[in-house]
Every structure is written in C-alpha cells, then in structure tokens.
Amino acid sequence: MGKRILLPLAAALLLTGCSSMQHIENGSSINETQPTTTAPAQTTAPPPATTAAPVTTMSPEQAVTQCSPQELLALGASLYDDACNMLAAFRGAVYPTDPTQTAERPTDHATGLLVTADSVHTPADVQAAFDALFTKDVPYKAADYYFEADGKLYAVVPDAPADPGYVGTELTDVRTEGSRVDFTAVSYYTDPETGEDLPTRTAVFSLIAEEDGWKTAALTLPY
C-alpha cells in the first residue's frame, strides 16, 4: 500500500530542518550516505491526505538549505515509493469501489465502478485531492479516470499492469534551487525469462517544499 506523502516526515523536516532529525519515516537513518533502492509500487492505495500540520518555524527554502545532500537523498528515497504509489493509484481506483455497481461512460462506453468513498463525489473532488500531493507540472486529469452518472461517481480502472521486469529505482544525485529538490532516478530492469539485466532508464524526480509539506513536481512512473 502506498503511504501518504504529506505526513509527519514532511512536516517534521520543515519544522526542524534535517540536522535535528534522527530517523525518517520508514525507520532507516536520516544520516545514511547510500540511497536506497525502491521496491515496485502497488497499483492501489488508500485515499490520500489533503492536509498536513502547518509550518511556522522556518520557510521551505530554509528547510531545504539546512539538509545535506545525503539527507536529501535519504528523504527522496523515502518519498519516491509514495509518489509512485499515489500516481499509479490515481490512474486506477485510488478510492474504494463497488464492482457490483457499474455505469457506462457516455463518451467512450467504458465501464466505471461505483466509488463508495464519502470524501469524493465528483471528478473535481478527485482532482483537488491529487493537486494536494502533486504540482501542476505532473499531468493528470481526474475526468480521464472518473465520471458522474445518476448523481454518483464512477471510476474507470485502466488495464495497465506493471512492467514485470522492473527491479527498483535508485536516486543517484541531488540538485537544489530554492524550495525545489531535483533527483536523478535510475530504474533497473531484468528480463523476467532469462534474468539478464536490461538497459536502465533515467528520469528526473522532483520535490517542492511547501508550507504544508512536500509536493511531487516531476515524476515518471518506472513501470
């Protein structure tokens, strides 16, 4: 299951700066010097949080500048899985659905499953939840995956299985500018039949420190 991105780790980092943190959320040391390799993300996740603890003691830019490159790499590694999980989930059924109650989307006749969550009632509600976790630079339109029918919300679950050869992703370096942190994400793959290594894929993973926590500003799903 994906973990929520705007939660205690993000708020604590912005409140105190990296230097006073002893552990990150997943239990590994904030002072570790080697970036961790992430596991393949799940395709579903619980509904995301849309708020986080307010920050009052330092600006996002100050929080970023007080972190060493090693600390930022550890932070990025701890949040990369979360971001992938949530992006994949928003493209699927991030909210609970009832597969026994369906409706047809008029535009393309796709079948949608009834969304049973009380927190969302329209595609606009889903979009607002996504925008609380990701910046506008991460393309997403809730209307591509959710629609209304008979006053109810339905989710169209796409058939998008994970790449069976995906092994994991390593963040290899870090660059900062103001409250933005950019990482190089190197993803590794193997041939599922032979076990031989396949060419790696490189992309940019970016986080922005905001007053209420971290938002993902650039992300390419590795699978």
Q: Residue 200 is part of which domain span? A: 8-90+160-218
Whether 209 is covered by a domain: the verdict is yes
User: In terms of domains, do 84 and 170 share one?
Assistant: yes
Mark which of 132, 155, 178 sits at the end of a domain: 155
User: In terms of domains, do 150 and 205 share one?
Assistant: no
Whether 187 is covered by a domain: the verdict is yes
**Amino acid making up residue 175:** R
User: In terms of domains, do 83 and 173 share one?
Assistant: yes
User: In terms of domains, do 147 and 166 share one?
Assistant: no
Question: What's the number of domains the chain is made of?
Answer: 2
User: In terms of domains, do 117 and 144 share one?
Assistant: yes
Angle at 46 between CA 52 and CA 132, to 5 degrees: 35
pLDDT of residue 214: 86
pTM metric for this prediction: 0.66
* Cβ pair 207, 76 in contact under 8 A: yes
Q: Is 163 exposed, middle or buried (0-12, 13-18, 19+ CB in 10 A)?
A: middle
User: In terms of domains, do 15 and 112 share one?
Assistant: no
User: In terms of domains, do 173 and 212 share one?
Assistant: yes
Q: What is the pLDDT of residues 203-223, one digit of tens each?
A: 999 999 988 788 999 999 998
* Cβ pair 216, 206 in contact under 8 A: yes
Q: Assess whether pLDDT exceeds 90 at residue 104.
A: yes
* Cβ pair 2, 89 in contact under 8 A: yes
Whether 3 is covered by a domain: the verdict is no
Q: Assess whether pLDDT exceeds 80 at residue 55.
A: no
User: In terms of domains, do 84 and 167 share one?
Assistant: yes
User: In terms of domains, do 76 and 164 share one?
Assistant: yes
Mark which of 129, 155, 181 sits at the end of a domain: 155
pLDDT of residue 26: 31
Mean pLDDT of 191-201: 94
User: In terms of domains, do 149 and 186 share one?
Assistant: no
